[in-house]
Amino acid sequence: MQVVKEYVQRWYESGLDPDEYVCHNKQGNLVEIEDVATGEHRTVLSFCTNDVLGLVQEEAVKQAAINAILKYGTSNSSTSVLSGRIDLHRQLEDEISAFKHLPYTQLFMNAWMAMQALMDAFCHLAIPVPGFQNTRETLILTDVLNHGCIVSAIVNAGTRSGKVFGHSPRVRVKAYRHCNMEDFARKLRRYALPDDRIMVVSDAVFSMDGDIAPLPEMLDVMQNYPGSVLLMDEAHASGAIGATGSGIYEHFGLVPMQAVERGIVPLIMTTFSKFAASAGAAISSHVEELKPLLNVSPTSIGTISLPPPNTAAALESIRQVRKSPERVQILQENTRYMRSRLAEHDFVALGETNVLPVILPPEINPKVFARKLIQQGMWVSPIWFIAKPRIRITVNALHTKADMDHLVARMVATRDLLCESTISA
């Protein structure tokens, strides 16, 4: 542990550690937080929650979670495949299938487990079955800016989880440049062998850049590879893009079955931690046989099933979104408003969604910027550990125009102040 101690000490000395805040109370976007370093309490307006539709505090959602606890208790106390499956799981899977227009859905505890389960199931199948032998290698193509859950799963895709040695045919992983369809097509041409099973995986909305994967162009390229699989991670797309919040297919005026008609197998991962006021993830497909295989993946059989309150909260949230897509429209209007206000004040915002990364002038440290804002009652996330340091604002459906105007005014004042102090230094 000596190296860890020395490293973390140096980390603190260099000011690279994140500031820590603890929430004591929440009313809409107003959050009472404690600054752990000073013990100070203050109420701030949050622009960093992923509760994009504002359902976390919705009465019907909270009540659904409470009812589930009253009926089933707080945990299912078993894995799904043994004795941990409850009727709410089935209802939630059906609801997601309807929302995503893909008939077969399997639940997981979170995105990381869902991704790993898929790699295990797709690349390595499950237990040996007499008379069946897979001889085909897998080629996985991944956008370089994909989320960590994808990176982790594909890096581990060479061997089935829980095994030290693998006996399946090889799995090869290649990355293509971010949303660059020329590079994507080139990599497929270069690396796809005639008998490969091909899987392409991408964030639908990129979690750090707030942009959207070029789905129509991806389908155009992939239709040259019949049977290839396209997995979209819709963590930030669900409830946020498309007229009713269904996600990336709806955003581009498509449904997943149009990919099927072109010989491509669409898979969608939904997560509940953003739009659905809960935690957990799901993989949906039109292939009936994938579901039982996912059900016996190591990250399904080796861990607890989704607890009753989380399942119920996600189920009620999705029902609310499907019943009243106006929330999605408000979110999209708020996104447009916030982006236009930032542009008016010469802030450089990446992407096009409610995930709103703002690149600050190079002389401004995002951590200092966010600290100054929090002192003025505005909470945004500073990001300084990736290529282009930024602050990350997440707009949600509960923000008012006055909230957003207030944030922009504070950002302008803070930028002026910090730029001035670097000039005079």
- Kindly state the helix (H) or strand (E) to which residue 232 belongs, with its residue range: strand 229-233
Nearer to ligand PLP, 168 or 394 (CB): 394
For the bound state, the minimum distance from the C-beta of residue 272 to ligand PLP, rounded and expressed in Å, comes to 7
HSE-CB at 288 with a 13 A cutoff on CA atoms is 0
Distance CA 192, CA 349 (A): 36
β-partners of residue 230 are 200, 266
For the bound state, the minimum distance from the C-beta of residue 395 to ligand PLP, rounded and expressed in Å, comes to 15
For the bound state, the minimum distance from the C-beta of residue 274 to ligand PLP, rounded and expressed in Å, comes to 7
**Token digits of residue 280:** 């957990």
Cβ atoms of residues 173 and 204 within 8 Å: no
- Kindly state the helix (H) or strand (E) to which residue 174 belongs, with its residue range: strand 171-176
Distance CA 33, CA 28 (A): 14
Nearer to ligand PLP, 199 or 364 (CB): 199
Distance CA 396, CA 333 (A): 10
Task: Name the residue among 261, 336, 260 with its Cα closest to residue 104.
Answer: 260
For the bound state, the minimum distance from the C-beta of residue 405 to ligand PLP, rounded and expressed in Å, comes to 27
For the bound state, the minimum distance from the C-beta of residue 146 to ligand PLP, rounded and expressed in Å, comes to 7
What sign has the CA pseudo-torsion 72, 272, 101, 269? negative
For the bound state, the minimum distance from the C-beta of residue 281 to ligand PLP, rounded and expressed in Å, comes to 6
Tell me how many degrees the CA angle 405-385-110 measures, rounded to the nearest 5: 85
For the bound state, the minimum distance from the C-beta of residue 230 to ligand PLP, rounded and expressed in Å, comes to 15
294: number of Cβ within 10 Å: 24
By the criterion CB under 6 A, which residues form the site for ligand PLP?
Answer: 110-111, 147, 149, 203, 207, 233, 235-236, 271, 273, 281
230: number of Cβ within 10 Å: 22
Nearer to ligand PLP, 147 or 341 (CB): 147
End-to-end CA separation in angstroms for the chain: 40
Position with the least CB separation from ligand PLP? 207
What sign has the CA pseudo-torsion 366, 378, 206, 296? positive
The contacts of residue 400 (CB under 8 Å, 6+ apart) are none
Distances (CA, A) of 329 to 153, 377, 392, 405: 33, 27, 21, 19
Instruction: Enter the DSSP assignment of 329.
Output: H
**Which residue reads 């895709």 in tokens?**
157
For the bound state, the minimum distance from the C-beta of residue 310 to ligand PLP, rounded and expressed in Å, comes to 11
Nearer to ligand PLP, 207 or 320 (CB): 207
For the bound state, the minimum distance from the C-beta of residue 218 to ligand PLP, rounded and expressed in Å, comes to 16
For the bound state, the minimum distance from the C-beta of residue 271 to ligand PLP, rounded and expressed in Å, comes to 3
Nearer to ligand PLP, 265 or 306 (CB): 306
Cβ atoms of residues 113 and 279 within 8 Å: no
Nearer to ligand PLP, 392 or 399 (CB): 392
Nearer to ligand PLP, 168 or 271 (CB): 271
